Structure 1
């Protein structure tokens, strides 16, 4: 008799994730030369040096990537700051234009009122 956990595992592998065996398989390169299909296993990088030197190299790579990310964030922040400053100036100019329009509307309404109130001769 099979255990329930093995049934779940088989169910997951066959029904839920039918591509799991292909994903878990070692990567291969496929090449077609002169009508013949050649398949090779991908070989990983050769390990050279001690574990400490490889960890230091990986640490330097991480620091370099962090520097690139920080540079990108700084550039993004400066662009956002510039954009908001430009729009604040636009809002100020728009406010002045609206004030001038209201003033002109008041003048025109006063002229219309004067024309309506004047006695006709």
Structure 2
């Protein structure tokens, strides 16, 4: 196999691994967002004077419902911003993968001729 095709194939494999990593990150963020939204929903069902606890490492710390709601909303906002960034990276990587695949196919068909 010619050196240039081998290099293109290696580059394609590297970009493919990046795409897989980004997909995993996106999935993790989606799960975190869903968990945070569910926690916020459950928190909204509690009475204002009911005790609320949050985790801090291995500890449970007593806090207020208002503080917990604010923390969850901030967390969701940050996670959604990160998710948008990951989606942009995913689009960019997908485009690069398609381009590399096209180039590889062209190089392979020229090699056969």
TM class by smaller structure: 0.3 to 0.5
TM-score, normalised to structure 2's length? 0.42
Instruction: Kindly indicate whether structure 1 or structure 2 has the higher relative contact order, using CA contacts under 8 Å at least 6 residues apart.
Output: 2
Could you state the TM-score of these two structures normalised by the residue count of structure 1?
A: 0.39
Q: Which has the higher helix share?
A: 2
